[in-house]
Amino acid sequence: MKARHAIACFVALASLCIAPAGAQSMRAPTAEERTILTNYIKVLHSILDKIPNENWVEDEQHRFDVDDQALVSNDPDVPLDINESMTREYIIRPNSPLQAERIKELEPLLAKFQANPTDPATTVALQKADRPNRIKVDVHFNRLGTPRDYASGSAAALDITGPAAAFKSTNNTHGEESVVLLYGNWRSGSRYHFRRPGRYPAIENIVINISGDPDRINRLLQTVDWRSVNSALTTQASSAAGE
């Protein structure tokens, strides 16, 4: 019994010793880091806020954001790392022209299916006609890896003004597309090389992933000023000021 009690006391003591160390790995941003993060938020919000329109609306229950409560990690692998990221999801707006158009397209097939639910051809046609009705946008910064780490093996390169590289892939099962936009000094086939090792106040790369309805994604690629995202990156001069 004494041995068992001693082990229990050791485990409890060890947990007390380990907990503060984990807590100390996160800290509040410095004034310079806060300035960099505030600019990042402003620039990315200006993009994300343009996605809703008469046919699309944000599904706010799936929103994640970088805010004033973000904490900085002391992990030395990247210049600046926080415990928050941006995620937005958008769905077809109820009672919108697009929703009415999608319903109209499905009505003849639904009538056929109701008349003959076991007809394989009608089932296949319904599956093809039932297109994705949402898109998801994820945004991260100071990512490790190579450009291809953020695109599937079958992804095709895109020519888009603004990002250093861009790729598109299609999920044939669900008819969804996925596009990744890479900002920063990405080099094909090479692991991302930050300006110097260790921690310093800088956002050197940004990765934006957009997935879901192909029509909406293609429209966004054509109409959004993707060059503006570059203004969220920290310039050489700004990062040097914090050294």
Q: If you average pLDDT over residues 109-119, what whole number do you get? A: 80
* pLDDT tens column, 163-174: 999 999 877 667
Radius of gyration over alpha carbons of the chain, in Å? 24
In which band, very low, low, confident or very high, does the pLDDT at 220 lie, cut at 50, 70 and 90? very high
* pLDDT tens column, 4-55: 444 444 444 444 344 444 444 899 999 999 999 999 999 999 999 999 999 9
Would you list the domain boundaries of the chain?
27-94+135-241
Amino acid type, 64: F
Burial class of residue 205 in the structure, from the number of CB atoms within 10 Å of its CB (0-12 exposed, 13-18 middle, 19+ buried): buried
The pLDDT score that the predictor gives to residue 100 is 94
Closest CA to 213 of 163, 183, 179: 179
Q: Name which residue leads in pLDDT, 38 or 237.
A: 38
Whether the model clears a pTM of 0.85, i.e. scores above it, the answer is: no
* pLDDT tens column, 139-155: 999 999 888 888 766 78
Has residue 131 got a pLDDT over 70? Answer: yes
